[in-house]
Structure 1
Amino acid sequence: MDSFFTVYRKGIIPLLSYLPILFITISILIFISFSIMNQLNVRNAIQANNLTAKYVTNMVDSSLKNISIDAQKLVETGGTLQKFLDAPSDKALEFDISNMLSSLMVRYGLIDSVYLYRAKDGKVLDQSTIRPLSQFPDESFIRSTLDKPYTGVWSSPRERISGGLGSPTSVPVTSLGLKIPRDSGSLGYLIINVKNDALKSYIDQMIDHTITTAQLYDAQGTSFFNEDRSVSSSDRLSADVVSNYTGWTYRISIKGGQLLDFLFHGSTLWILLGLSAIVMAIGSTFYVTRRNYKPIESILHRIERFSSLVKTGDAKAKSNEFAFIDQAIERLITNNMSFQEQQQEHLVIRRQQFLQQLLKGEFGDDRGAWEQEWQHFGLSAGHYIVGVLELDSYVQFGLKYNPNDQSLFKFIISSVAVETAEQNGLRVVVEWIAKNQLVMLLISGESSLLEHQILQLSEQIRAWVEGHLDFTVTIGIGMPADDETAIARSYEDAEAAVSRKVSLGSNQIIDAVEVRGRQDGEWFDYLEMIRTIVRQLRMSEQDWQNELKQLFGEMAVHRLRKGDVDRLLHYLIFHLEYELDGALPEVVKPWQEGVKPALAAAVEHSDTLRQLELDFQAALTQLASHICELSQSRRHNTLMREIRDYVAEHYMDPNLSLTMLSDRFQISSKYLSQLFKESIGENFSDFLIGLRIDNAKRLLRETDTAVQAISDQMGYSNPTSFIRVFKKIVGLSPGQYRESLTKTAARGSGQEEQERLERM
């Protein structure tokens, strides 16, 4: 037993004396490994900062470019701004320009102020008033801008002086000045100020304040946000991106970067420390081996005491440092995930913007940007055609479903469009460009099959929606486009085609070929129908219903667009309100409270002419009942009807006058004139002229009677007087009116002949 313990003490115990050395060595190497991993994480953080800086740069540049583009549109030659600068002083024009500048500020929240300098009289117009340059708070900047050889570039950060001359205040801004005209600036300057605090708030929305900070510097290294550090400072834990548009530098940095910077710079130190640990371990092994002659208990005791001290101190340091690094890594991962989500959202927005520009044809001047975006979205060149899908009865759709359900249905429709195209072997790009419109861009290598393919695809989508959903869609098809620049025209044709569903009906496919070349009819014919409807309503005649039916029938025959139908019906509402206000003030209250809102709602919510006709028929019938009740209650209603019938029968009598009527019906001419105004809504002479002109127009349309003969029949002894009155009422001379009718008939017969040939 004693020999056993002797062997144990001389063999096992000296072997265990090497464990502290092994523990220390492994601990140091593990710590160094963690440090190297931390260095990699720091580098990943720097890369994430670089991506964030690029994203911030792109978003800020895009906003500033949009402001610059809209401002350049305002200063175009011949525009309203140039009229203000070149024309004599006009309060109304100054008010319009001030509203235009205010609308630009409303459209872009970054804008702090906009003002316009007029070189002719040295005055400055802003959103509140116009005043001489010497009284304008920001006079010094305007004068410095006048001396610059070129404008159109965003300035370095500056202090904009605002407020009165007695108590001026300064606001940090960056400014954009544009010459008017652009080449000389002889008329004046447009100056737009963007508040630096607004830029900072806009940038802060795109970063995580808990771990990152953002700074912005101009080309000279001046800070926009009053930072002490300049752009030239060295910071290896930050990412700098220089904008190609403004020349500004965007810096994204990590907060609390001192420890991380120490770890980053100390990579060589950690490697040397690891090598030193290995050398120390080897040396210690030899040292312990050589010192085995000392009592084993003493050595073990000392190693145990030393090991416990090293573990206690080292563990505390590791706990503090690694806890911080762990939190930083966790936040970086969370921020990176959030950044990826923002990137996906940005990609969707970028795709929508690209498609909007493509449909508007705005890439023609910048071929490089066109190719970059085209390749980014995986599109290839070829032949194109555009279809526009529009949800039918969108107002009812919005009332029936909540926003989440609406988004789901829109996603379903776009997915059906993509999957149907893939099943047919077609390449299609779909995007919702409006709340109720989906654009489908079909791409094909062969132009001969484009129309057939888009028609087949559209019919499959329409049939699927009708069979599986509770609503329907109408799809308009544009003309084929042989290159990218013609896509905008194809989109315009498709949009025009789908807009005609108001007259052609919903839940169908409308090809631009079917409606191309169709005339919308002569506008004065529609206006004359509307005036007749209003007059008959006001006079309680029952024929207004037939006239209303004829009006909607003419709009359906000519296949008017939704916008044209809306304009005509709004004119009917306006003209009816004007006549009622002048002739029947007692009816104005029920008109304002019931009839007018019903008519306006019908125009806004109805998708088809049939529904519009029913809604207008119901509302106007209600109005007609009010007018009829009022007419029956008025005095001398029967007498005025007899007088009106007599005038309608003898309007061709050249001697017909108030005096003649006064003698015939035994009533004073003055009181008769008053009754005419109250009962009919217009004086006697206007009523008589209206009857004569209406019948003259009928003779011009239906007969070949000469103008002089028509003048004699209408009771005019002098043809010149007849022509002058006719032109004043109609807007055309009798000869011009007859000629316009001839041209309209010729176009209509030619169109019918073309349709007959197409059917053959």
Structure 2
Amino acid sequence: MKKKWFYRMLLSYSPILLFLVLVLILFFYVKWTTETKVRIQNTNDLFASHVVSVLDSSMKSIEEFVLQQMLTDEKITEYLNGTAPIPPYAMFELTERLADIRTMFPLAGDVYIHKLSSSEVISNNGLLKLGDTFADNAFLTAAIESGGAARWSSPRAYQLYQADPPADVLSLVKPLPITSAVPKGYVVVNVQLPSIQRALLTVNTDASGYLLLADADGSAMFREHTPPQSEWGISTVRSSYTGWSLSVGIPESEQKLMSVFLDGWTLPALITILLSILVLTYVTHRNYKPIEEIMIRIDRYALKRSLQLGKGNKHNEFQFISTALDNLMEKSNEYEAKHKDDLIIRRRYWFNELIAGGFPLSNEEWESEAAELGIPQSFASTVVLVTVLDNREQFSGDYNQRDQTLFKFVVQGVLEEICRNHGVEVWSEWKEADQLCAIVYFGEPNNEARMLDIADQLKEWVAANLQFTVSLYIGTTASEVDDIRGSYREAMQAGQYRALHGYNRIYAASDWKLNVQGDLYAHLHTAKGIIKLVRGADPTWIDQLDRLFGDIRRDRLSREQTAEVVNYMFFSLEKEMNDMPEELVAVWVEPLRQYTPSSILAKELIAEIQSGMSELLHRLVESLQSWRDRQPQFMPVEQIVAYLQEHYSSPDISLDHLSDMFGLAPRVVSKLFKASTGERFVDYVMNLRMTEAKRLLTSTDLPVQSIGEQVGYTQVISFIRTFKKSEGTTPGEYRKLHAGESP
């Protein structure tokens, strides 16, 4: 049969081609329908959220403008507070003001004010008496009995006069005056429901989809088109302000598009399959020619061998090819076996296993492996030496990747040369991008002096010949292979002191044992106090920050413990922001986005971490002070703070006393003080008194009662109780614990 291998090849590939084409078509259909649904759902979500946002903005604008007019308009205030009948001209001015509100907002309807004392109603159309021709008496009475509406009402029929046709409106009722607990009247704001419906019709003109606006009770206020048969694609968004919900669905036409997908793609798919088969046939025929030539050669060679051996002309082409390939693969495997053991990879692997503590070999196995790797099989002692590139961030910025690799090669070569000069062997590998680990093998057990000499020579050579420096961590002496990981761990622990003491130094585990001398809680307490000072824009926070990091250096805190202090400062900042005005929170967001805990703690030295925190807190204090300067209502707070710092020892200090001094209501004083300083008035005064009390307790011999009187407590029991609540101990115990210290 001519071209039998051609037809075999063609029939072998055709089913695979058909299968792949059908799978791709199915995948494309599933993918297309899924993405279409997601896209339509996202579009509807965005559209519904935008429409609800626009409605909320319009309704809020009407409410806020009306409340502002009611609060600031002197004519309205005089009318509510007056007892005499309103003059005609004054009534005309009030109706004009109410008419202006309706003119300013397209959605707004009638606005009227009801005065309780005279049972009058003034609207944008004139003055009416309850029970007269005023037709909205039932709604107004119900609203007054409920104390006013906290949110917009459901749609209702509204008439100002008995003769007026009813109009669908939504109403909002607020007591007047706004700031008074006892209302003297009420303002009623009406919004025309048809205006809202027209706005929704305008918005939905292009989409032409299903649209439903329902009130807080679920009753429909506006509906366009019938809901789709399928529930997917319907997006519902509820307003947190009005309680209304808006449902948006896709047009029926878009749903039908998905159902007719196959009808539109069936013919192109069939044409594609046919063209693919034709192309496959042509390519197979073209590429078959080399195979045909090979088969002819195989037939000739087989015929020749058969004639030589006196056998028949029957032969198997595949067996012939298989035998040739087997011979070729056998030779190839023999070649690969000679180059399989890559010494570089194996050395790095076993090096990491040694220092990481995952060493799985016995001593005999390790000696065999070490002989193949070319490293010492036995030793008297070893020490792990870790060489770290100082200021990794600057090193990466100053040199490109090629130069960095060259410098690291130089450092590694210099280390090996110094070790050879000292008559010791070394095995070194770059464990991290900036960390060269080396296992130094000694022939004697006591090697501390030689190890320090090697490290010092490497440090001095790098500083003298290169444009950067290195710090070196020396581990403890290891006498067994299993002890090498402990030497590495001790070296890395000693290296934690680099953050405290700086670059270009040697940190030996025998000299730099971690020994935290201070109380971490005390540092956290100081950190919290600094954030309190920053929140109040107290300039003493700078000295306290210097004191905090000075204590960290003195107590030799590890880097992890220092990170706890920094993270706690950020936690305290977030906690303070929870009680801050939204305007001030927005001002603080940008500095906190720029100076994150991770960016500050990425610095290698304590001084750099302190500098980062100082820059952040400076930015926050400047933002706070700038915000205060733009808020004229906080000007009295600065005077109050100055007054408290001078007169905090007076027993008469109270909100009522400050109210009389600065002409503000006690409630206003408390609210402004909290917003400006971040502390309650009582806590601020207590902190001032306790600070002075601690100073007197540690620097004088005055009796506790006298100290209490000097800081504003006439009763010694009250002073002791407050002091213990603040400091956790009595004044007498505090004096014994902190005698001779300054608080």
What is the TM-score with the length of structure 1 in the denominator? Answer: 0.49
Question: What does residue range 145-160 of structure 1 map to in structure 2 within 5 Å?
Answer: none
Question: 2:605 aligns to what?
Answer: 608
**Structure 2 letter corresponding to 1:560:** L
Question: 2:657 aligns to what?
Answer: 660
The counterpart of 1:421, out of the listed 419, 427, 431, is 419
Query: Structure 1: how far apart are the matches of 2:429 and 2:496?
Result: 19
Question: 2:537 aligns to what?
Answer: 540
Question: What does residue range 652-691 of structure 1 map to in structure 2 within 5 Å?
Answer: 652-691=649-688
What is the Cα deviation at residue 352 of structure 1?
0.9
Question: What does residue range 1-150 of structure 1 map to in structure 2 within 5 Å?
Answer: none
Query: Structure 2: how far apart are the matches of 1:546 and 1:312?
Result: 108
What is the Cα deviation at residue 425 of structure 1?
1.0
What is the Cα deviation at residue 638 of structure 1?
3.6
Question: 1:458 aligns to what?
Answer: 455
The counterpart of 2:638, out of the listed 641, 645, 658, is 641
What is the Cα deviation at residue 669 of structure 1?
1.4
Question: 1:585 aligns to what?
Answer: 582
Q: Deviations along 1:709-730, whole A, 9 cap, x unmatched?
A: 5445444456665555445444
What is the Cα deviation at residue 732 of structure 1?
5.5
What is the Cα deviation at residue 344 of structure 1?
5.4
Question: 1:495 aligns to what?
Answer: 492
Question: What does residue range 189-208 of structure 1 map to in structure 2 within 5 Å?
Answer: none
Query: Structure 2: how far apart are the matches of 1:387 and 1:743?
Result: 46
Query: Structure 1: how far apart are the matches of 2:485 and 2:741?
Result: 31
Gaps of 5+ in 1: 1-305, 746-760
**Structure 2 letter corresponding to 1:605:** A
**Structure 1 letter corresponding to 2:619:** Q
Question: 1:328 aligns to what?
Answer: 329
What is the Cα deviation at residue 630 of structure 1?
0.8
Residues 414/523 of structure 1: CA separation in 2 closer, same or farther (3 Å cut): same
Q: Deviations along 1:297-343, whole A, 9 cap, x unmatched?
A: xxxxxxxxx999538989x99986873344122431354256334x7
Gaps of 5+ in 2: 1-303, 371-375
Question: What does residue range 475-490 of structure 1 map to in structure 2 within 5 Å?
Answer: 475-480=472-477, 490=487
Residues 679/380 of structure 1: CA separation in 2 closer, same or farther (3 Å cut): same
What is the Cα deviation at residue 680 of structure 1?
1.4
Residues 708/454 of structure 1: CA separation in 2 closer, same or farther (3 Å cut): farther
Query: Structure 2: how far apart are the matches of 1:708 and 1:442?
Result: 68
What is the Cα deviation at residue 739 of structure 1?
6.2
Query: Structure 2: how far apart are the matches of 1:312 and 1:616?
Result: 96
Query: Structure 2: how far apart are the matches of 1:720 and 1:431?
Result: 69
Question: 1:430 aligns to what?
Answer: 428
2:723·2:730 contact (CA, 8 Å) conserved in 1? yes
Matched position secondary structure for 1:565: helix
1:595·1:620 contact (CA, 8 Å) conserved in 2? no
Residues 502/454 of structure 1: CA separation in 2 closer, same or farther (3 Å cut): same
Residues 329/724 of structure 1: CA separation in 2 closer, same or farther (3 Å cut): farther
1:659·1:669 contact (CA, 8 Å) conserved in 2? yes
**Structure 2 letter corresponding to 1:568:** V
Query: Structure 2: how far apart are the matches of 1:529 and 1:486?
Result: 41
2:471·2:505 contact (CA, 8 Å) conserved in 1? yes
1:432·1:439 contact (CA, 8 Å) conserved in 2? yes
Query: Structure 2: how far apart are the matches of 1:560 and 1:461?
Result: 28
**Structure 2 letter corresponding to 1:323:** A
Question: 1:508 aligns to what?
Answer: 505
Tell whether 2:362 aligns with 1:369.
yes
Residues 740/515 of structure 1: CA separation in 2 closer, same or farther (3 Å cut): farther
Q: Deviations along 1:96-146, whole A, 9 cap, x unmatched?
A: xxxxxxxxxxxxxxxxxxxxxxxxxxxxxxxxxxxxxxxxxxxxxxxxxxx
Question: 1:594 aligns to what?
Answer: 591
Q: Which has the higher contact order (CA 8 A, sep 6+)?
A: 1
Question: What does residue range 224-623 of structure 1 map to in structure 2 within 5 Å?
Answer: 309-310=307-308, 323-333=324-334, 335-336=336-337, 339-341=340-342, 345-357=345-357, 369=362, 372-373=365-366, 376-377=369-370, 378-399=376-397, 406=404, 409-448=407-446, 450-480=447-477, 490-516=487-513, 518-600=515-597, 602-623=599-620
Identity across matched positions, percent = 28
1:504·1:559 contact (CA, 8 Å) conserved in 2? no
Query: Structure 1: how far apart are the matches of 2:346 and 2:740?
Result: 54
Query: Structure 1: how far apart are the matches of 2:657 and 2:441?
Result: 77
2:355·2:484 contact (CA, 8 Å) conserved in 1? no
Residues 644/561 of structure 1: CA separation in 2 closer, same or farther (3 Å cut): same
**Structure 1 letter corresponding to 2:543:** N
What is the Cα deviation at residue 620 of structure 1?
3.0
**Structure 2 letter corresponding to 1:541:** D
**Structure 2 letter corresponding to 1:531:** K
Query: Structure 2: how far apart are the matches of 1:559 and 1:606?
Result: 17
Residues 319/432 of structure 1: CA separation in 2 closer, same or farther (3 Å cut): same
What is the Cα deviation at residue 459 of structure 1?
1.6
Matched position secondary structure for 1:476: strand
Question: 1:631 aligns to what?
Answer: 628
What is the Cα deviation at residue 504 of structure 1?
0.8
**Structure 2 letter corresponding to 1:543:** T
What is the Cα deviation at residue 506 of structure 1?
0.8
What is the Cα deviation at residue 499 of structure 1?
1.5
Query: Structure 2: how far apart are the matches of 1:337 and 1:406?
Result: 34
What is the Cα deviation at residue 647 of structure 1?
1.8
Matched position secondary structure for 2:611: helix
Q: Deviations along 1:377-412, whole A, 9 cap, x unmatched?
A: 334353343333222222344455566665554444
Question: What does residue range 214-233 of structure 1 map to in structure 2 within 5 Å?
Answer: none
Residues 552/415 of structure 1: CA separation in 2 closer, same or farther (3 Å cut): same
Residues 380/733 of structure 1: CA separation in 2 closer, same or farther (3 Å cut): farther
**Structure 2 letter corresponding to 1:501:** R
1:595·1:622 contact (CA, 8 Å) conserved in 2? no
Query: Structure 2: how far apart are the matches of 1:725 and 1:617?
Result: 33
Q: Deviations along 1:493-532, whole A, 9 cap, x unmatched?
A: 4223222222211122123454436535333443344334
1:428·1:443 contact (CA, 8 Å) conserved in 2? yes
Residues 413/624 of structure 1: CA separation in 2 closer, same or farther (3 Å cut): same
1:573·1:596 contact (CA, 8 Å) conserved in 2? no
Q: Deviations along 1:19-66, whole A, 9 cap, x unmatched?
A: xxxxxxxxxxxxxxxxxxxxxxxxxxxxxxxxxxxxxxxxxxxxxxxx
Query: Structure 2: how far apart are the matches of 1:706 and 1:392?
Result: 56
Query: Structure 2: how far apart are the matches of 1:375 and 1:552?
Result: 52
Query: Structure 2: how far apart are the matches of 1:704 and 1:494?
Result: 50
1:494·1:511 contact (CA, 8 Å) conserved in 2? yes
Question: 2:150 aligns to what?
Answer: none
What is the Cα deviation at residue 461 of structure 1?
1.9
Residues 670/511 of structure 1: CA separation in 2 closer, same or farther (3 Å cut): same
Matched position secondary structure for 1:441: strand
**Structure 2 letter corresponding to 1:327:** L
**Structure 1 letter corresponding to 2:505:** Q
Residues 512/348 of structure 1: CA separation in 2 closer, same or farther (3 Å cut): closer
What is the Cα deviation at residue 637 of structure 1?
3.4
